[in-house]
Structure 1
């Protein structure tokens, strides 16, 4: 590649750690700032999401993340990229919903007699949004409201799920979220509830598709750049040709600029090309599904050598909590709570230096503080398997 700057892995890794608030926790930021910096926090496991966000902030505990989500409403829990549950900043919800609803649709693998038609999907989304404007509903309550509004066909038990059958309308839950008609509400006992984000975010309205997609690409590159169009396609579960065309269009508009990253053409936001002067250093403990672990590529650089065998699950990142040493995965860990005690087992893939052991002790204390317990560290083999 001629006349294109070259970015080496150590500088890219250091930049990503800084951008994610992992080089040093942010002092004057809140949970929404931390989530924006990582371009969305995975929240399919809420305890891990709380730890993931709080690790990036100075002095914050899991209670602070919960307060931001359920009281201050600066965070919204909803379906994000790849249809997975995420925490997103409320202030950015217009961008997220506009962009996610503008992504090319994933091919519906259900049988023709099961899948929703585009017209039925529109009906379900409208019914979901209308029903949830009245308050928080469990999935059963929402199902009754949707069939009342859309018709009995929406409640047909035809979707195979977990050994049983779900009603037809549930195929469109993530679509409803992407279009800004649904998000998660607070737990009702052990039951999940849903509500309409218009109730939580005053003045909310999804941003137009073109502007929203541009903003999402730029947010992604600020967090994970340099990155290729193919890596963005993997992150969003979209076709590679579509992502390649999108990045080419943004380059022609001067919104992104190319670099040579590990022999591949990758992109950064135009004008946002500065790299740290030193390679990454330090020890970090990241929980299940941490955005840094899931979103950073290439996998072989972040998970070098034995790390790929130990910390990936079928090539997928996030299923193990990981030990990061100097910007790379260098082990796995697990924590178990027993009353006020938090028992942490850390399995390094290589012996840690005395300095790294001291940093590990500091990380263990931080985890204990965030989880509001007394941590106890054991260095040894983690016997717990990958999280599904």
Structure 2
């Protein structure tokens, strides 16, 4: 089967809940497989764009979803019930990949094992910030420079080893908890790679095994094997699950946050973003700007200017937007303000 570019974008946006939003945080995160979450504000906005009636506080308070280091060694927000099997899938791979950098930072294997034992003693029944963990380690004779990258790499290693995960934030400061205390119930799929591929195709509509590899960071050989096990339906140059809705309605205008999963889910982003405008979205250093989505295609970027009384959402389109798109963005800005508990207005 072959779809037009417009229809393909509609299918992908629908799969990402950008056409029909969900009503709770877990439904959003579970439907899109994982939300990139190295930026907490950006992760909140990813859920806002795919949710109905939710607030930033709803996201922060949810114990049903959890952050830890998974795909591409990056922090992701996933259903808490999936944390164990995803950690077993990605943790050893991530820990091995980070070994060289840890050694550069003075985190030898011996020091890491000693520190993990101390962290396990520090955390029972508690949620501690990074500084509180560093203070506890220092009291036991393990001193790390708080201004270096060593603490972050140690905590990522502890998470990859299945010892800790992120707890709820204290203000703007993340906390860490014992994974075994945080996760009270979990699922264990028989074939983790196949299960992840199924969730990926559910979330991204039509894609290739190369897209799956780029999104997950898993070797292409494993990704091809997982796709083959699903026996997906060929759609143009990609594949879809047999239950995928290939007649999805057009996507309404959306404001997507930085690092949005809609753009990060594919190796080739040309269908979603004009290559001539790519540097306006990804200027380098791994940064992905907040974007404006019109008919499933990236049509510009946006940022905010805040005062004590008002938040201005400044849209910078790649080309002149039609009046219908501007009306849709005004509705999005209203919802953005409601989500954050701010008064927001569109500036274009």
> 2:61 aligns to what?
67
Rate the CA distance shift 1:148–1:6 in 2: closer, same or farther, 3 A: farther
* 2:177 maps to 1:177: no
Rate the CA distance shift 1:114–1:56 in 2: closer, same or farther, 3 A: closer
1:35-184 equivalent positions in 2, closer than 5 A: 35-68=29-62, 73-101=63-91, 103=93, 105-106=96-97, 108-110=99-101, 121=112, 124-143=115-134, 145=136, 155=143, 165-167=148-150, 171-184=153-166
After superposition, the CA RMSD in angstroms is: 3.1
> 1:276 aligns to what?
247
Q: Is the 8 A contact 1:98 1:213 kept in 2?
A: no
- The Cα offsets for residues 138-173 of structure 1, whole Å up to 9 and x where unpaired, read as 323323555778xx5x6466xxx9xx5455x75342
SS at match of 2:21: coil
> 1:19 aligns to what?
15
SS at match of 1:101: helix
> 1:311 aligns to what?
281
Residues of 1 paired with 2:254 and 2:25: CA distance? 19
What TM-score does the superposition give when structure 2 sets the normalisation length?
0.85
Q: Report how far residue 330 of structure 1 moved.
A: 0.6
> 1:368 aligns to what?
337
Residues of 2 paired with 1:111 and 1:337: CA distance? 39
1:188-227 equivalent positions in 2, closer than 5 A: 188=170, 191-204=173-186, 207=188, 211-227=191-207
Q: Report how far residue 356 of structure 1 moved.
A: 1.6
1:226-305 equivalent positions in 2, closer than 5 A: 226-238=206-218, 243-252=219-228, 254-257=229-232, 259=234, 261-262=236-237, 266-269=238-241, 271-276=242-247, 280-305=250-275
Name the structure with the higher strand share.
Answer: 1
What TM-score does the superposition give when structure 1 sets the normalisation length?
0.77
1:328-347 equivalent positions in 2, closer than 5 A: 328-347=297-316
Instruction: For structure 1, list consecutive stretches of 5 or more residues without a partner in the other structure.
Output: 380-388
Residues of 2 paired with 1:189 and 1:358: CA distance? 34
SS at match of 1:59: coil
Residues of 2 paired with 1:31 and 1:196: CA distance? 22
Rate the CA distance shift 1:221–1:103 in 2: closer, same or farther, 3 A: farther
Name the structure with the higher helix share.
Answer: 2
